[in-house]
Amino acid sequence: MPIYQAPMQDYQFILQELLNIYQKPELQGFEEIDPELIDAVLQGVADFSTEIMLPINGSGDVEGCRLENGQVVTPQGFKDAYQQYIDNGWPTLTCDPEYGGQGLPEVVGVFATEMKTATNMAFAMYPGLTHGAYAAIHAHGNDALKAKYLEKLVSGEWTGTMNLTESHAGTDLALLRTKATPVADDKYAISGEKIFISSGDHDLTDNIVHLVLARLPDAPKGVKGISLFVVPKLLINDDGTLGEPNNVSAASLEHKMGIHGNSTCVMNFDAAIGELVGEPHQGLRAMFTMMNQARLGVGLQGLGVSEIAYQNALAYAKDRVQGRALSGVKQPEQAADSILVHGDVRRMLLSQKAFNQGCRALMGQQALWLDEAERHSDPLQAKSAAQLAALFTPVVKGFVTELGFKACVDAQQVFGGHGYIHEWGMEQFVRDSRIAMIYEGTNGVQALDLVGRKLLADKGETLKLWSELVKNLIAANSQQAAMKPYITGLMSAAADLEKATNYIVTQAARNPDVIGAASMAYLQILGITALAWMWTRMAEKALQCLDEGAKNSAFYHDKLATAKFFMGYWAVQTTSLVKQIELASEDIIEFADSAF
Amino acid sequence: MPIYQAPMQDYQFILQELLNIYQKPELQGFEEIDPELIDAVLQGVADFSTEIMLPINGSGDVEGCRLENGQVVTPQGFKDAYQQYIDNGWPTLTCDPEYGGQGLPEVVGVFATEMKTATNMAFAMYPGLTHGAYAAIHAHGNDALKAKYLEKLVSGEWTGTMNLTESHAGTDLALLRTKATPVADDKYAISGEKIFISSGDHDLTDNIVHLVLARLPDAPKGVKGISLFVVPKLLINDDGTLGEPNNVSAASLEHKMGIHGNSTCVMNFDAAIGELVGEPHQGLRAMFTMMNQARLGVGLQGLGVSEIAYQNALAYAKDRVQGRALSGVKQPEQAADSILVHGDVRRMLLSQKAFNQGCRALMGQQALWLDEAERHSDPLQAKSAAQLAALFTPVVKGFVTELGFKACVDAQQVFGGHGYIHEWGMEQFVRDSRIAMIYEGTNGVQALDLVGRKLLADKGETLKLWSELVKNLIAANSQQAAMKPYITGLMSAAADLEKATNYIVTQAARNPDVIGAASMAYLQILGITALAWMWTRMAEKALQCLDEGAKNSAFYHDKLATAKFFMGYWAVQTTSLVKQIELASEDIIEFADSAF
């Protein structure tokens, strides 16, 4: 069975040293946290993830979910584990204290999510979607809806789902057809079929709270005619007790490549009773306000699964003996050297490690921006943070899941033939992590969101805001000899980003289709440059800690070595990507449809 | 169900125009082939693949193989399809006419293999492994063994397997423990357990011919003490009829990520009776002589599955409507534009297309080198061809399967959420093609083979031989304005290859481990440069054909457009790869084991 060791030391480094979250009096609620509390919370999640969630990850994949008499049965152990999960209060971490939450910052929540997703992505999706439903009602529901639903969702007594996709309407929600017809008492009858509904039905809780996009009878066409409804699996009586079954049911389970432990359903709504969340026809806007957080959650899946895949590949590489080092025998006491001596095995592992640690730091930064956007005492600072979080949302989703999947494939490769066999668990990581590139907006959609809505829509203002941070970092360290390898790598990537940005801006005026062709390379350039920025900041902190005589010097030396590798292996990739943008984008658009 | 259209026009272009195989009097046996014959053969395989093999690809994946009372049962339809396969004489194409083969060149055989692998990789492996067993006995068996086995293997009446791997001995066969003890009459008792044995047991034929690596009692340690044996499932009587069951059996079926229709077995040999193939202790060398062909076969899996994945992604992209082009509505008669209007979808498809067609041409060239090595009337030319084929063996295996898998992932991505669902067939292509990166020597081993055995062992002599061909092509076209985009791209990639080669040669003398760290990037640089070479040659031919007023001008214009895209999108990737080699290889080796 795969092993997992929560990267606690990395979390501590990021929270305390890199982001300095314990000295943020300007952020409301941050005064209540301290390292002791946060370490205890994260250690609790680490223990739960490793001891309860990990053991049922592989078995859940093999067994999968099944539909019996119209009800989904989850794999063995899921129901018990879920009960323990809510008994321990894990759903409540970052939720509003008014509804039973602990009010912890996102910057703590992301690392809890990383661990849960690493150890059992399919299981973690049940509370993950619940949090989405909580956030939707919390942000857009009226007081009555909040009173009815939020406490149960925060406690985990009920779970939630998001019902957006229909078979003909995925990326393009303008095409959706599900109908909402008003009936008595502010109630609506919802009818339609939704597909790919994660956690759509299950046996973990008595009730399930479906958030559903549908059209009112008088709705304008397109995305401006979509409203958001809440539709419970069981109707709720006025006294809050559960009533009759609503007319919503799982029509079938999707046959998926992975995340078999999560019940991905086709859902039938047959005049199911629902209530409007927010204003009529404003459903898509309501979904959009939750997008930053939802996409961060999917990005964390890319990171989490990549991390556990790395840990297992490393353990295998140390344990497996096969062949001898090119430079001669390294472990004469064994029949062969461990495969960690082989340059290509080391390359794959180090690539994963540098990617994971860089992404982890970026996730922390992104979460802190989200916290600042919501909690900063200075509205201008809050606004800047919101802009930066919006800019990097397609990066943490699209870039991290794209390369996180690639890292899982590399980790599987370290196992050779054993990586292709179910028993070792590596092929499951590849299958599970694959979906993160697709759902919550495909990575291609993320790339379009980046160049269209984030870069061009504000004329590059937010990108400039961030570029100033990069320039300041470079300026502050330009005289430090020890910082040279990192600054050099960061500058080179940033220069490529600037070239790519100029290309996009120029082409946008000339032929907008061309920027679509360039968008994925652009997303990757921004992602790599962002990681180079995080690695430079981590190197800076590591050098400071060493200068100050920090006890755990090996940890900081390792950070510096990994940062250096990142610059030589990862940061250099922007050079070819910017060439692709400049040389191929127009050819892609000009290529005749008939010639494909 | 996935569609498939055999790329017949591409085959004709490669065989007739690019490689000019019908005017090769210097190659023995080539005088017997003409376009009419070869077109008919390839069309026959195309029809069989599409009509018989493709329909049982998805169902074979779902059903898989099962072990019942010690015998493997293949998925429904496999037994019938196999009977038709041998009734049609498809196993005989490239086999020796002395044993019932048709003696067709490899350069024809590769395209037959591509089509079979595209439509049903798991099924195609049964005859594929049989061909390996045929080749081993043909090259190394004595007359008695040839008489006993070859006709049955050529006709497909019996199938074959290759038994190399043991659980502790994969890449490093020096560690293998299976024993061969002499018994009466040049017979040996073989005992041991082998894992990952493709087509190890099944119900397609009465008998199965296992080629098995084992150690004789007096064997030296390591790879110099391994012998090759042939061990039939059923013993063969002196009159050629089938006798008693031998003591060999499938202990279990491996639980794999993909290729479920192929029976990958753990095989038990319990004093099974076998005969020696070739000389004692020369087993590994015997396997090595078949390596070029076996690895070409695996490379063709990378290409074949990538091709069918591309075709289906393209069909979906044309059919699926979702959103509008960035430049405005393109298909006003529809509720949305087909997703082929989106730049990123076009990018993924064009990347796959350029890769597939480039690889197909390279596969043809590689097969022609193998033919020349065996059939050329001039021994010097034959030797050069053999050297070139050896140099490019790690490329056609390691590079093509690595990027072929990536192409399948991109094709799956075009489908969005539907790509993750079994019904569309795309996720199967990803799972199936994944194994090609692992077996027949992992891609990391291919990269090591390239830098160690192919580049450094002959001091770069073979690489120089090939570089001359590249230089000649450049020189011949340097004055042609129309050739400029292709020549520019090729020259740039070739310059990066030279830089990378210099790095490897320098480091090999200083620290051999470092070349291991650089080897995968080096393999990719050589692969991309080789494709740039093929694309430049294809552009040259396409221009010639257009100059000569060829009828099908659209085909040649499409080739030129794809070649141009290749240079702007693919060829530029060498720039970052050579930087990785120069900047990261040493860091990879210097990184402390304890810091991973």
CB-CB: which of B349, B427, B589 is closest to A596? B349
Provide the residue type at B387 as one letter.
Q
Min Cα–Cα distance to chain B from A461, Å: 21
SS (H, E, C) B434-492: HHHHCCCCCHHHHHHHHHHHHHHCCCCHHHHHHHHHHHHHHHHHCCCHHHHHHHHHHHH
Task: Say what the pLDDT of residue A290 is.
Answer: 83
CA of B257, closest CA in chain A: separation in Å?
Answer: 6
CA distance B200 to chain A (A): 16
Q: What CATH number was assigned to the domain covering residues B290-360+378-432?
A: 1.20.140.10
- Annotate A469-496 with b (16+ C-beta within 10 A) or e (fewer): ebeebbeebeeeeebebbbebbbbbbeb
pLDDT at A185: 83
- How do strand B158-163 and strand B207-214 relate by DSSP bridges? parallel
User: Among all chains, which residue has been given the structure tokens 């790329």?
Assistant: B7
Name residue, tokens 């509804």.
A99
If we measure between CA atoms, which residue out of B319, B148, B163, B357 comes closest to residue B241? B148
pLDDT reported for residue B367? 98
Paired strand residues for B181: B189
CB B207 within 8 A of CB B152: yes
User: In this predicted structure, what is the pLDDT of residue A291?
Assistant: 85
User: HEC string of A186-208?
Assistant: CEEEEEEEEEEECCCCCCCCCEE
Residue environment code for A241-272, b if the CB has 16+ CB neighbours within 10 A, otherwise e: eeeeebbbbbeebbebbbbbbbbbbbbbbeeb
Residue A263: closest CA among A193, A191, A208, A190: A208
Whether the CB-CB separation of A137 and A231 falls below 8 Å is answered with no
CB A394 within 8 A of CB A450: yes
Q: Which two tokens stand for residue A294?
A: 């939802």
Query: What is the dihedral angle through the alpha carbons of B44, B47, B49, B51, rounded to the nearest 10 degrees?
Result: -150
Cβ-nearest to B513 among A318, A326, A518 = A326
Is B585's CB within 8 Å of A195's CB? no
Considering only the beta carbons, identify the residue of A572, A574, A577 that sits closest to B583: A572
**Chain B residue with the nearest C-alpha to that of A440:** B417
Question: CB-CB: which of B175, B340, B344 is closest to A520?
Answer: B344
C-alpha A466/C-alpha A460 separation (Å) is 10
User: B241 CB contacts (<8 Å, ≥6 apart)?
Assistant: none
Residues linked to residue B228 through DSSP beta bridges, in sequence order: B213, B277
In the block, tokens 């019932």 appear at: B100
Q: Minimal Cα distance from A578: which residue of B?
A: B572
- In the three-class reduction of DSSP (H, G, I as helix; E, B as strand; rest coil), residue A92 is classed as helix
- Average pLDDT, integer, range A359-374: 98
Report CB contact under 8 Å: B567, A583. yes
pLDDT at B385 over 90: yes
- Give the chain A residue whose CA is nearest to the CA of B514: A343
**Model pLDDT for residues A233-245, shown as the tens digit of each residue:** 999 999 999 999 9
Q: Which of the four pLDDT bands, split at 50, 70 and 90, describes residue A287?
A: confident
The answer to whether residues A90 and A115 touch, using CB atoms and an 8 Å cutoff, is no
Bridge-based pairing of strands A265-277 and A248-253 is: antiparallel
A514 vs B contacts (CB less than 8 Å): 343
Average pLDDT, chain A: 97
Confidence band for B60, pLDDT divided at 50, 70 and 90: very high
| Alpha-carbon distance A566 to nearest alpha carbon in chain B (angstroms) | 8
Q: Give the residue from B572, B574, B585 with the most A CB atoms within 10 Å of its CB, the best one to mutate.
A: B572
Of A106, A151, A440, A540, the active-site residue reads: A440
Count H helices and E strands in chain A, helices first.
19, 11
Q: In DSSP terms, which residues pair with A207 in a beta bridge? A: A158
Structure tokens at B336: 């949305």
Helices (H) then strands (E): counts for chain B: 19, 11
CA distance A465 to B96: 70
Q: Do B344 and A565 touch (CB under 8 A)?
A: no
Per DSSP, what are the bridge partners of residue B71?
A: B68
The alpha carbon of B564 is separated from its chain's Cα centroid by a whole number of angstroms, namely: 26
What pLDDT, on the 0 to 100 scale, is given for residue B17? 97
Rounded Cα–Cα distance for residues B175 and A106 (Å): 51
Residues of chain A neighbouring B517 (CB-CB closer than 8 A): 343-344, 346-347
Q: How far apart are CA B207 and CA B196, in angstroms?
A: 19
Show residues of chain A in contact with B583, CB under 8 Å: 567-569, 572
Distance between CA atoms of A120 and A45, rounded to whole angstroms? 13
Percent of chain B at pLDDT exceeding 70: 100
Q: How far is A541 from chain B (nearest CA, A)?
A: 18
Facing residue for B326 by CB, picked from A318, A515, A569: A515
Among the CATH numbers 1.20.58.220, 1.20.140.10, 3.90.79.10, 1.10.357.10, which is that of A298-321+350-441?
1.20.140.10
What is the rounded CA–CA span in Å between residue B67 and residue A555? 51
| Cβ distance of A444 and B342 shorter than 8 Å | yes
ipTM for the whole complex: 0.97
Q: Is B165 in Cβ contact with A417 (below 8 Å)?
A: yes
Length of chain B: 596
A132-142 tens-digit pLDDT: 999 999 999 99
- Please identify which of the residues B114, B166, B307, B440 carries the catalytic annotation: B440
Distance CA B326, CA B343 (A): 9
Is residue B440 among the annotated active site residues? yes
B296 pLDDT more than 90: yes
Q: How confident is the model at residue B285 (pLDDT cuts 50, 70, 90)?
A: confident
Contact B516 A344 (CB under 8 A): yes
> Which of A312, A569, A573 to mutate to test binding with chain B, by most B CBs within 10 Å of its CB?
A569
Find the closest chain A residue to B314 by CA distance: A596
Q: What is the pLDDT of residue A184?
A: 82
Q: How high is the pLDDT of residue A292? A: 86
- Which helix (H) or strand (E) segment is A67 a member of? strand A66-68
Of all residues in chain A, the one with the smallest CA distance to B221 is: A335
Report how far residue A402's alpha carbon sits from residue A447's, in angstroms, rounded to the nearest whole number.
Answer: 11
In terms of C-beta distances under 8 Å and separation of at least 24 residues, what long-range contacts does B472-478 make, across chains too? B473/B533, B473/B536, B473/B537, B473/B540, B474/B536, B477/B536, B477/B540
Mean per-residue pLDDT for A499-526?
A: 96
CA-closest candidate to residue A120, choices A128, A131, A108, A110? A128
CATH number of B8-288: 2.40.110.20
Contacts of A533 (CB under 8 A, 6+ apart): A469, A470, A473, A490
pLDDT in tens, B129-185: 999 999 999 999 999 999 999 999 999 999 999 999 999 999 999 999 999 999 988
How confident is the model at residue B288, as a pLDDT? 83
Give me the phi and psi of A261, to 5 degrees please: -75, -15
Contact at 8 Å (CB) between B434 and B405? yes
Q: DSSP letter at B272?
A: E
| Furthest CA-CA distance within chain A | 82
Cβ of A336 within 8 Å of Cβ of B172? The answer is: yes
Q: Verify whether the Cβ–Cβ distance A257 to B335 is below 8 Å.
A: no
With contacts defined as CB-CB under 8 Å, which chain A residues touch B341?
513
Rounding to the nearest 10 degrees, give the CA dihedral for residues B578, B582, B583, B584: 90
In degrees to the nearest 10, what's the CA dihedral of A532, A534, A540, A541? -160
Compute CA distances B482 → A230, B32, B520, whole Å: 62, 37, 34
H-helix or E-strand spanning residue A266: strand A265-277
Contact in structure between A42 and A111 (CB atoms under 8 Å): yes
Domain locations in chain B as residue ranges:
8-288, 290-360+378-432, 453-595
Q: Which residue of B has its CA nearest to A340?
A: B593
Instruction: Please report where in the chains the tokens 């026009």 appear, as a residue.
Output: B9
Q: How far is it, in rounded angstroms, from Cα B194 to Cα B165?
A: 6
Average pLDDT along chain B? 97
Contact flag A434-B431 (C-beta cutoff 8 Å): no
From residue B411, alpha-carbon distances to A516, B331, B416, B437, B565 in Å are 17, 23, 10, 18, 18
Tell me if A417 and B195 make a contact (CB, 8 A cut-off): yes
Read off the pLDDT of residues A294-347 as tens digits, 9 standing for 90 and up: 999 999 999 999 999 999 999 999 999 999 999 999 999 999 999 999 999 999
Q: Which residues, other chains included, contact A322 with Cβ-Cβ below 8 Å and sequence gap of 6+?
A: A336, A337, A339, B169, B170, B171, B172, B175
Which among B345, B421, B573 is the nearest to A254, CB-wise? B421
Q: Could you identify the residue written with the tokens 């092993």?
A: A3
Residue B290 pLDDT class (50, 70, 90 cuts)? confident
Spell out the residues 6+ positions from residue A233 whose beta carbon is closer than 8 angstroms to its own. Answer: A201, A207, A208, A209, A210, A245, A246, A248
Contact A417 B583 (CB under 8 A): no
Question: Tens digits of per-residue pLDDT, B439-482?
Answer: 999 999 999 999 999 999 999 999 999 999 999 999 999 999 99
Would the CB atoms of B438 and A416 count as touching at under 8 Å? yes
Say whether A591 and B561 touch across the interface (CB within 8 A). yes
Could you read off the pLDDT of A437-467 as tens digits, one per residue? 999 999 999 999 999 999 999 999 999 999 9
- What is the pLDDT at residue B363? 98
- pLDDT tens digits for B397-421? 999 999 999 999 999 999 999 999 9
How far away is chain A from the Cα of B31, in angstroms, using its nearest Cα? 35
Taken in order A421, A423, A425, A428, the sign of the CA dihedral is positive
Which two three-digit tokens encode residue B511?
Answer: 């620290």
**Residues in B touching A254 (Cβ below 8 Å):** 421
pLDDT in the model for residue B404: 98
Chain A: residue whose CA lies nearest to B222: A335
